[in-house]
A and B are shown apart, each in its own frame.
Chain A
Amino acid sequence: MPGHNVIANLYPLTKFYMAVVLMAVSFMLPGIASKLICFLFINALAAASGVWSVFIRRELETVGVLFLILFVIQTLFYPDARRILFTFWIFSVKYEGIMFALNLGLMLLCAGGSLIWFFAVTKQKDFVLSLEKAGMSPKASYVVLSTLQIVPVLRRKSKTIMNAQRARGVETEGGVLTRAKVFLPTMIPLVLSSIAGTEERALTLEARGFSSSRTPTHLEDIKATPADKVAVILITVAFVALIAGRMALWLI
């Protein structure tokens, strides 16, 4: 997470507003070219926020893979295609399919990319705190924050259990059934110990005044700055302009 980057240091909700606007834009942009520009803009945004390498890796691993699969499916199996570019073996490559795939794929790259950018430049706990300050219940923030903490703990435990099974000579490779047999003995003890722990954790929370009716304070507080006001205005102006442009395109 970058330290003194202007964009990264914006208030979480400002960045979230940006991401939501970008998503809305990617849904309404008309053609491949405009979507490509939008995608390049998100890349530039990620670079300016100092997180481009994380951004592009996650984007390619997730939306990129999806793009590839849908490109193959649509190119080869687009229904009722008129222009067939060429044919090999039992497959034929369809022009309409390619166009559809590019349109959909670029839209997904933009929509997914804007979220990936958001979570790459925003600490999860800051986002949760900003939501809490905007009115979300502190109990809901506890659920999200403790989930973010518990997932890695359980993941580590599941690895420990699987390694222990391997050490005892249980096959974790091999046929589907052999591998399936590893699933239960790994999952069940993990789940049971976590569920047994919830009762004591409930008492722990009580002991920390979780059910108190007082208004909590925030140790690591975050506040919106004048820069956020400027950013929100800029984003809104750009968004309105784009909508106006899109409407004009319709009307003409």
Chain B
Amino acid sequence: MAYIELKDVTYTYPLADRPSLSHVDLKIEKGRFYAVIGANGSGKTTLCNLIRGFIPEFYQGELLGEVIFDGKPLSEYDSGDLAWRIGYIFQNPFNQITGARDTVFAEIAYGLENMGLPVCQIRERVNSVMETTGIADLKDKNPFELSGGQQQRVAFASVLVLEPDVFVIDEPTSQLDPRETKRVFDIIDGMKAMGKTIILVEHKMELVARYCDEVIVLSNGKLVCTGEKHDILSRVELLDDGVMLPQAVLLADTLRKQGRPIQGNPITLSEILPLLSKQIGFAGKEG
């Protein structure tokens, strides 16, 4: 059985007169890394809120169908305790600072305090998570006085420290510069190595192609397709749905149209470059 399963889910926000997601059937396997892609307004954030249980609890509105998580409907979980099972991180770094604590250390510990963990264990966990997220030197700073990138890493640490099984991450780098983006993806890569289930909304297709396992494509609230990333990202027809595709795919497609097809389904530059040099004598070197 799938770890998370959406069964014919249709959801309409309050005041809206058409659904943001309609008739979505989706299976998510444990320990896999899913990227959710699609144009603006295709329902990506709605999907995140649904899986995290904020829909319908927080957003109200009309929900048809069912979300199953680890064997039972999401609605049967105590919503207050869902935080320990499903981690949630989103794009705005500033709004992910709770305001409850005045140092980075205490901010990260806040969730564990709510969890009721003994203080010695809290210290241990916070110290270790600050190492993995590279913010140990910010320990005593006020979280409100950090840069956006630092705040985002504090947000990751604050959720990571709760050790949930699933991470729902909604466009974590859209307000960050390339350097901070790289740092955030290093953290996400670390989560994957820990065997966590990850659902990530991301617009930067090169990052999607490089880091994730599976891709979920949404368009206008409907599930277009889902599957292994090479299989999905090489479908050039997705461009018609307003989906962006990685550079390597576009390059392969251009070459194909010029009558010089590339073998296989390369989706990253490091995958396409050797193929290029082998097949058409392209002088590029492996990145």
Please determine if A and B sit in direct contact within the complex, based on CB atoms under 8 angstroms apart: yes
- B219 contacts partner chain A, Cβ-Cβ < 8 Å: no
Query: Are A208 and B114 within 8 A (Cβ)?
Result: yes
Q: Is the interface of A mostly helix, strand, loop or mixed?
A: helix
- A188 contacts partner chain B, Cβ-Cβ < 8 Å: no
Give A204-248 as 1s and 0s: 1 = Cβ < 8 Å from B's Cβ atoms. 111111111111111111000000000000000000000000000
**Which of chain B's residues have a CB closer than 8 A to the CB of A145?**
99-101
In the bound complex, how far is the Cα of B83 from the Cα of A216, in angstroms? 14
In the bound complex, how far is the Cα of B144 from the Cα of A207, in angstroms? 18
Return the contact of A212 from the options B95, B99, B101, B115 (Cβ within 8 A).
Answer: B115
8 closest cross-chain pairs (CB), A and B: A146-B99, A211-B80, A200-B95, A208-B111, A209-B83, A209-B114, A214-B116, A207-B88
Given contacts A209-B83, A213-B81, contact A220 B106 (CB under 8 A): yes
- A125 contacts partner chain B, Cβ-Cβ < 8 Å: yes
Query: Nearest Cβ distance between residue A147 and chain B, in whole angstroms?
Result: 8
* 15 cross-chain CB contacts under 8 A: A146-B98, A146-B100, A150-B99, A200-B92, A205-B98, A206-B88, A208-B110, A208-B162, A209-B162, A210-B98, A212-B83, A212-B115, A214-B115, A216-B116, A219-B112
Return the contact of A153 from the options B92, B119, B144 (Cβ within 8 A).
Answer: B144
Return the contact of B79 from the options A153, A204, A211, A216 (Cβ within 8 A).
Answer: A211
- A202 contacts partner chain B, Cβ-Cβ < 8 Å: yes
Given contacts A200-B90, A214-B116, A220-B106, contact A206 B54 (CB under 8 A): yes
**Which of chain B's residues have a CB closer than 8 A to the CB of A146?**
98-100
Enumerate B51-107 residues with CB–CB distance to A below 8 Å.
Answer: 52, 54, 58, 78-81, 83-84, 87-90, 92, 94-102, 106
**Which of chain B's residues have a CB closer than 8 A to the CB of A204?**
95-98, 155
In the bound complex, how far is the Cα of B144 from the Cα of A204, in angstroms? 15
**Which of chain B's residues have a CB closer than 8 A to the CB of A209?**
80-81, 83-84, 111, 114-115, 162
Given contacts A197-B95, A209-B81, contact A218 B113 (CB under 8 A): yes
Binding site for A on B (CB under 8 A): 52, 54, 58, 78-81, 83-84, 87-90, 92, 94-102, 106, 109-119, 122-123, 142, 144, 155, 158-159, 162
- A137 contacts partner chain B, Cβ-Cβ < 8 Å: no
Query: Are B90 and A216 within 8 A (Cβ)?
Result: no
Q: Is the interface of B mostly helix, strand, loop or mixed?
A: helix
Query: Nearest Cβ distance between residue B48 and chain A, in whole angstroms?
Result: 10
Query: Are B102 and A149 within 8 A (Cβ)?
Result: yes
In the bound complex, how far is the Cα of B189 from the Cα of A45, in angstroms? 57
In the bound complex, how far is the Cα of B79 from the Cα of A211, in angstroms? 8
Return the contact of B87 from the options A207, A216, A220 (Cβ within 8 A).
Answer: A207
Query: Nearest Cβ distance between residue B96 and chain A, in whole angstroms?
Result: 5
Enumerate A151-203 residues with CB–CB distance to B below 8 Å.
Answer: 152-153, 197, 200-203
Question: A153 — nearest CB in chain B belongs to which residue?
Answer: B144
Query: Are A217 and B118 within 8 A (Cβ)?
Result: yes
Query: Nearest Cβ distance between residue A37 and chain B, in whole angstroms?
Result: 39
**Which of chain A's residues have a CB closer than 8 A to the CB of B119?**
217-219, 221
In the bound complex, how far is the Cα of B79 from the Cα of A228, in angstroms? 41
Question: A152 — nearest CB in chain B belongs to which residue?
Answer: B144
Max count, chain B CB within 10 A of own CB: residue among A150, A205, A212: A212
Query: Are A208 and B99 within 8 A (Cβ)?
Result: no
Query: Nearest Cβ distance between residue A127 and chain B, in whole angstroms?
Result: 14
